[in-house]
Structure 1
């Protein structure tokens, strides 16, 4: 299982003071040294954390490596133009609302099929793989296939926030969706709200080949240091796979 480390919240700390540190690109390099298989970053429309310059500096730093960049972004014209210039390995299309603290759910691909078909076509013609961040829902998976996505990233937020019997219920939804998406030929990823405890059940789902995790790793880095925080998450998901 691959681990994509999301560096957004290194930038969140920097932007709290509008200064130059901590540098998310430096954080990305430490994460890679500790075992990260991919660097993920979300360039939001309001630029609340990651800035355009971060993306292009990261692209420059990783150009001679095998480490892919996964750019999370809203499916807007502005973001498409930035992606076509930066050429990340993957773009993950996510819903975005200015007032939300973090992404609150999956992209409603079903209601956006006509728009997304053309949007995705341009990205793929430029050699960028396209993943759609969706809820664990069969209709959304079918729609993702229809619009030409290469992969789906299953939103694990409801599972991460569940209590009691709802934990197993949400876990079953994710398992069912992952199995269905894999059978349909999509690459299957997952992420949102995962931490050292709840990630184990997700990492055991064989159809999921990649996890993208940010907040928990950066939060634990305050106490452990970034290298150890990434290394520990990598060890947990590797051991969960057996």
Structure 2
């Protein structure tokens, strides 16, 4: 199980004043030095946090896994092919949303992914992950496409209004992870995770490979520092907390 740190909101803070700092590339270096296995970034169409120049600098500086989170637009596919990250995670993207609000609707995107998006990555060496809710049909369609990984959307669990709802969503995530693993795809997870709810996810969901955490980690780092915060997450994932 590996921690990948999403550095989008280091860029958000930089962009608030346009001063050039804090530098998300420096943040990525601190995260890797503290034990993160890699870095996640989401280059959005409106460039609200990560910018094109950040992407190319990250490619040069990140030593571990580089996960390019993106909509499957022609523009993003072109940039991803140029940058050649280790992994691209295809996500739904809405201009008005504050953050990615749910998984891909595979029935809606299947034909486009099969005929356009997936062939565009053929022979690039870039692995493809799909950001999905824990739905059997979506996972089955991801397997048919030949996805390398599925990143399970954990936001419904993380934001559950009560314990019973949280337990119910954990059961869905558990069953989804088993199905993903059965199909030979990596089981990744992300969205809404933090130091308080991550232990329950780890305890109940099998086969977890990469866990992507961004907003909660960067927010905690304002008080603890980035180095300590990453080490706390890494320690938790290794059973140290």
Distance 1:141 1:110 in 2: 11
Residue pair 2:92, 2:102 contacting (<8 A) in 1 also: yes
Distance 1:210 1:189 in 2: 5
Gap runs ≥5 in structure 2: none
Q: Find the residue that maps to 1:21 and give its secondary structure.
A: coil
Q: Is the counterpart of residue 165 in structure 1 residue 188 in structure 2?
A: no
Corresponding residue number in structure 2 for 1:150 = 148
Corresponding residue number in structure 2 for 1:182 = 181
1:71-127, Cα deviation, whole Å (9 max, x unpaired)? 000010000000000000000000000000000000112221111013112213211
* 2:66 counterpart (64, 69, 74): 69
Gap runs ≥5 in structure 1: none
Distance 1:146 1:113 in 2: 9
1:156-175, Cα deviation, whole Å (9 max, x unpaired)? 00000002210100111100
Corresponding residue number in structure 2 for 1:224 = 224
Distance 1:124 1:211 in 2: 25
- What are the equivalent positions in structure 2 for 1:194-205 lying under 5 Å apart? 194-204=193-203, 205=205
Distance 1:182 1:138 in 2: 12
Distance 1:237 1:127 in 2: 28
Q: Find the residue that maps to 2:105 and give its secondary structure.
A: coil
Corresponding residue number in structure 1 for 2:127 = 129
Corresponding residue number in structure 2 for 1:238 = 238
Residue pair 2:174, 2:206 contacting (<8 A) in 1 also: no
Q: Find the residue that maps to 1:39 and give its secondary structure.
A: strand
Residue pair 1:124, 1:130 contacting (<8 A) in 2 also: no
Residue pair 1:74, 1:96 contacting (<8 A) in 2 also: yes
Distance 1:99 1:131 in 2: 24
Aligned length: 238
Distance 1:6 1:98 in 2: 19
Shift of 1:19: 2.0
